[in-house]
């Protein structure tokens, strides 16, 4: 269990690190809603436990997915059963009340008295943090769901002190006084518990206790971790998502109480929101619930609601003259209040601190709720940029209800058509570098070039790449591939120097790399870049190389792998000739041979009569005659079975059949012999 949690934790940290490096955050969208239906799938219409049911129902409710009618029957049945059972545990009672708060299985003044007594006893007898948590939070749920219920804690300050006694000096909390192990996850549970104690207290809690608690909260933030893009999160053995969600639930619960006066720094709030948005869509149901529930707590809290700036697309095409579009909303995708968005800077990755756009306020489209910049300055070229935005709230009142980052940095890539000019390929003399043959290249046509060279010559390829503004463009990938007719390939990179990208191949120094293979080489040029809309893959032509013979000790060319997909291709057609049927004799001849086979049997019968075989003792009565005939038939069947055993039957099959025939013969044979013995006794007595 711990190992699985650790692996999941490492994977999530890596995912957040990748997202954090990109600094692109998107609010909760339809992708989460679609994924939630796949993650929270009930088995046979219900969930394994009330805890799973609550997490699924709560997540779907926050995302605006109505599945209550499909799940209410089985879930409410469990809720009613748990609330009516005096043997229910504190945990089961808490989650039953949590599910009831969503599905409204029991409402009004029908207070489950047994559960209330159990929860109150749980608060009184609690020694563990989880017992305090389930008892106190359960009583809070009863108070919220059942009207006219007085559940105030008479000894609220004593309970407060008992829970506070589990805190540590480093901001972490223990699960019990007898266990020194502490965690930040437990701190979140403790904050929720104390918020419940404050709400159930009949009078205001001593402010010195509240102040001590607020000091402990500040210590919790000493354990917070941060990425370079301003993302904040907590991490313990339970995993970063569970731990951070626990702290957020605790802090928002405390902030809901007027007596605490809790206020958190705006950068921490936005950083925590960015953490949950940065992990994408978790595949684990528990992580999915913690992500959505934590974001819902951040969206509905009393200190500040974080606003998230997002770009529908971080790639802008200059060829299509696409505008820059920006959206601002809450973490769950709700609309933001009236505000303005300013593009403070657009820093090019190739420049040293110079900005091509400065303090440009974006226009607002009320229909799509999008801020946009429809035109860029003339010096805005293709490449990679870092856009720096500022969000300015229009009304001063909103500055207290909402919080944003001071400056939001977003990576943006601009693309365009790159011009390829002065492309030429030439064969040079190796000694003096004079041009032996030179050809201009039309890279829109394949196979237009035919060259020849020997090992004492060079091959030069040069071209010039320019951006739409005429600046030198250095592509991310630019290489030349030579492919021998034996399928041996060699790749060479082009280098950009000054205004030109160039490659010079000295065949004298490459004979070993080319394995001394003379013959025809196909020439292929590849140029590609993320900012290049017209990336190129061109078959320039071929070159005939005349290289020296390979020495005995020189390396042989590697064997070329066969195409793995060739085995699935069509096979050669199989032509099969059936055996020519043998010629059969005439029908009349077959009948003659059949007669010859039957004749010996007829002769056998005639021979029996000639020999005077006595068949006078053959029974004349119907029953005895039937037994006699069956007996003789059984003997014939045994003889036939022997023949079949010799021809095709195996021993086991023969023995099975013989055992059945033996029992049959024993029965009919006994009746036949009994009849003969009785007939013989009658003759003797006569």
Structure tokens at 209: 């206790």
Residue 72 tokens read as 């209410």
Helices 30-39 and 285-299 cross at an angle (nearest 10°) of: 140
What confidence score (pLDDT) does residue 616 get?
65
Instruction: Give the max Cα distance, the chain.
Output: 144
**Pairing state of beta strands 495-497 and 383-393?**
unpaired
Please give the pLDDT value at position 261. 74
Instruction: Please write the tens of the pLDDT for every residue from 208-245.
Output: 888 888 888 888 888 899 888 889 999 888 899 999 99
Separation of alpha carbons 44 and 59, rounded Å: 20
**Please, are residues 329 and 372 in contact by the beta-carbon 8 Å criterion?**
no
Task: Judge contact between 521 and 510, C-beta under 8 A.
Answer: no
CA 668 to CA 663: how far, in whole Å?
A: 9
Task: Give the three-class secondary structure for 421.
Answer: strand
Return the CATH architecture of domain 308-415.
Sandwich (2.60)
pTM score, whole prediction: 0.70
- Written out in words, the top-level CATH class of the domain with range 419-550 is mainly beta
Residue 21: its pLDDT value, please?
42
According to DSSP, residue 365 is labeled E
- What does 134-160 look like in DSSP terms, one character per residue? HHHHHHHHHHHHBTT-----TTHHHHH
| Helix/strand/coil percentages in the chain, nearest 5 | 40, 25, 35
Q: How is residue 360 written in tokens?
A: 């440009």
Confidence at residue 13, expressed as pLDDT on a 0 to 100 scale: 38
Q: Which residues of the chain have pLDDT under 70?
A: 1-23, 107-112, 148-150, 350-353, 396-400, 431-433, 562-567, 612-617, 686
Q: Are 631 and 669 in contact (CB under 8 A)?
A: yes
- β-pair type (315-317, 324-330): unpaired
Q: Structural domain boundaries of the chain?
A: 29-153, 163-302, 308-415, 419-550, 623-676
> CA nearest 269: which of 159, 371, 137, 401?
401
- The pLDDT value given to residue 671: 86
The pLDDT of residue 411? 92
């Amino acid at each position: 269990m711990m190992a699985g949690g650790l692996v999941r934790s490492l994977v999530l940290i890596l995912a957040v690190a990748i997202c954090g490096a990109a600094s692109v955050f998107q609010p909760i969208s339809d992708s989460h809603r679609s994924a939630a239906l796949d993650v929270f799938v009930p088995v046979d219409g219900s969930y394994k436990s009330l805890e799973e049911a609550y997490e699924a129902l709560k997540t779907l409710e926050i995302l605006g997915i109505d599945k209550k009618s499909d799940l209410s029957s089985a879930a409410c049945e469990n809720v009613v059963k748990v609330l009516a059972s005096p043997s229910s545990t504190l945990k089961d009672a808490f989650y039953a009340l949590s599910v009831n708060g969503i599905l409204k299985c029991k409402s009004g003044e029908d207070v489950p008295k047994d559960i209330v007594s159990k929860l109150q006893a749980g608060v009184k007898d609690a020694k563990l943090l989880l017992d305090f948590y389930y008892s106190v939070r359960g009583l809070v749920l009863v108070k919220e769901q059942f009207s006219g219920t007085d559940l105030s804690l008479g000894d609220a300050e004593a309970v407060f002190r008992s829970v506070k006694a589990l805190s540590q000096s480093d901001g972490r909390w223990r699960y019990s006084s007898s266990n020194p192990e502490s965690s930040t996850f437990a701190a979140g549970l403790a904050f929720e518990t104390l918020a419940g104690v404050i709400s159930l207290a009949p009078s205001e809690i001593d402010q010195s206790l509240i102040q001590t608690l607020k000091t402990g909260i500040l210590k919790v933030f000493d354990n917070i971790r941060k990425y370079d893009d301003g993302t904040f999160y907590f991490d313990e053995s339970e995993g970063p998502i569970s731990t951070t969600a626990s702290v957020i639930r605790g802090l928002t619960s405390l902030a809901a109480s007027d007596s605490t006066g809790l206020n958190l720094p705006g950068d921490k709030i936005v950083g925590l929101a960015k953490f949950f948005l940065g992990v994408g869509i978790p595949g684990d149901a528990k992580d999915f619930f913690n992500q959505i529930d934590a974001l819902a707590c951040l969206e509905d809290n009393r200190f500040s609601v974080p606003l998230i700036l997002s770009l529908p697309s971080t790639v802008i095409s200059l060829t299509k003259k696409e505008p820059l579009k920006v959206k601002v909303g809450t973490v769950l995708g709700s609309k933001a209040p009236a505000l303005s968005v300013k593009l403070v800077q657009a820093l090019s990755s190739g420049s040293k601190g110079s900005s091509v756009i400065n303090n440009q306020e974006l226009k607002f489209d009320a229909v799509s709720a999008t801020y946009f910049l429809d035109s860029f300055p003339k010096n805005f070229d293709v490449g990679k940029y870092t856009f720096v935005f500022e969000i300015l709230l229009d009304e001063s009142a909103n500055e207290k209800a909402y919080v944003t980052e001071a400056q939001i940095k977003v990576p943006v890539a601009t693309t365009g058509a790159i011009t390829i000019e002065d492309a030429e390929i030439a064969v040079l003399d190796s000694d003096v570098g004079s041009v032996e043959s030179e050809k201009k290249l039309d890279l829109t046509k394949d196979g237009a070039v035919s060259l020849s060279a020997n090992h004492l010559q060079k091959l030069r390829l040069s071209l010039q790449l320019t951006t739409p503004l005429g600046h030198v463009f250095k592509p991310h990938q630019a290489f030349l591939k030579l492919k021998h007719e034996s399928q041996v390939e060699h790749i060479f990179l082009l280098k950009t120097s000054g205004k030109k990208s160039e490659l010079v191949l000295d065949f004298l120094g490459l004979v070993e790399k080319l394995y001394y293979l003379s013959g025809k080489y196909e020439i292929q040029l590849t140029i590609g870049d993320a900012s290049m809309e017209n990336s190129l893959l061109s078959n320039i032509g071929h070159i005939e190389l005349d290289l020296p013979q390979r020495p005995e000790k020189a390396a042989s060319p590697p064997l070329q792998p066969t195409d793995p997909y060739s085995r699935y291709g069509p096979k050669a057609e199989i032509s099969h000739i059936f055996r020519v049927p043998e010629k059969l004799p005439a029908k009349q001849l077959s009948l003659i041979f059949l007669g010859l086979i039957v004749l010996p049997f007829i002769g056998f019968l005639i021979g029996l009569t000639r020999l005077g075989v006595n068949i006078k003792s053959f029974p004349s009565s119907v029953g005895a005659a039937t037994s006699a005939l069956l007996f003789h038939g059984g003997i014939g069947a045994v003889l036939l079975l022997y023949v079949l055993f010799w021809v095709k039957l195996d021993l086991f099959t023969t023995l099975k059949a013989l055992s059945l025939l033996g029992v049959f013969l024993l029965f009919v044979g006994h009746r036949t012999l009994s009849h003969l013995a009785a007939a013989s006794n009658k003759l003797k007595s006569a």
